[in-house]
Amino acid sequence: MTINGHTKITGIFGDPIGHTLSPAMQNAAFKAVGLNAVYVPFHVKADDPAVLKAAVEGLRAMRFLGVNVTIPHKERVLRYLDEIYPHAADIGAVNTIVNRDGRLFGYNTDGTGYLLSLRDETGLRIARKKIVIIGAGGAARGIFYAMLGMKPSSIVLVNRTIRRANTLAKAFEARFSSTDIRTSALQRGALIEHLSNADLVVNTTSIGMMGKGELDIPVEALPPKAIVSDIVYRPSKTGLLKAAEKRRLKTHGGLGMLVRQGAIGFELWTGMKAPVSVMTGAALKALKHR
């Protein structure tokens, strides 16, 4: 790669940022399409709020194409942008910023990325399906919102803290009245009941990630055609997915969501079609070399 006076700049703001797979994925994509652009991780510290503001201003000053924004800046960054796309405003979080002639536009591509990956890898269409979402945090919010737009028949939000699930359900239930939205505590009895006629269960919590324990989800209660999905991608097969495979259920891991949200960002920044298979290969390789 030659960096010269014409190189376009993109990157990611986060704290911490050391583990991100996005640079490997995006730089491989630029190379594959022959674009003179780079993607650089920026450690934008969260302890002083002025730092994020200054970093965002820098995007204009230095004419970046745009950046991704990750934990813990996804919510706070909204106030520094010029325009927020409706879905990002509804979710209350931005993961992708696009710089159009000095105006900064905020998008959220996580939920859509998740649905595209699910469709590609399992063929599942959300319309009229019965869904169980485990978790009610930031990741759940994006996925829940994207799913509601596809008019599933029902969604049960299952969370350790039921109050948080109720708050999330209330935020959108009036606007998406064609979906039956319910909430439930993370208890075995309740889960068995909700899983027994589900088409899809998705874990949106970080439980199952390396060193974070395992979720105890009674997958045996699911119908044989159900799909089990986990947004955790390290390990690529969480305990939940292994348990599902043992029951011969179709599974869906988290790497595709990362790749697909990145592919949407690539397309927004460059106006070119993202080389999704190149990005998948680069993300897998970077994950292996961790």
Binding site for ligand ATR (CB under 6 A): 135-140, 159-161, 164, 186, 204-207
Q: Considering beta carbons, is residue 148 or 186 the nearer one to ligand ATR?
A: 186
Amino acid letter, 12: I
Distance of closest approach, residue 207 Cβ to ligand ATR, in angstroms: 5
For the chain, how many helices (H) and strands (E)? Answer: 10, 12
Distance of closest approach, residue 161 Cβ to ligand ATR, in angstroms: 3
How far are the Cα atoms of 37, 108, 112, 114, 149 from residue 77, in angstroms, in the given order? 24, 12, 20, 22, 24
Q: Considering beta carbons, is residue 7 or 161 the nearer one to ligand ATR?
A: 161
Token pair, residue 272, equals 């070119």
Distance of closest approach, residue 145 Cβ to ligand ATR, in angstroms: 13
* In contact, 206 and 194? CB cutoff 8 Å: no
What secondary structure letter does DSSP report for 227? E
Backbone dihedral angles phi then psi of residue 214, each to the nearest 5 degrees: -130, 150
Catalytic residue (choose from 8, 45, 53, 74): 74
Q: Which residue is nearest to ligand ATR (CB)?
A: 137
Q: Considering beta carbons, is residue 207 or 241 the nearer one to ligand ATR?
A: 207
What is the C-alpha separation between 93 and 74, in angstroms, rounded? 5
Q: Considering beta carbons, is residue 219 or 276 the nearer one to ligand ATR?
A: 219
74 given a catalytic annotation: yes
Distance of closest approach, residue 225 Cβ to ligand ATR, in angstroms: 27
Active site residues: 74
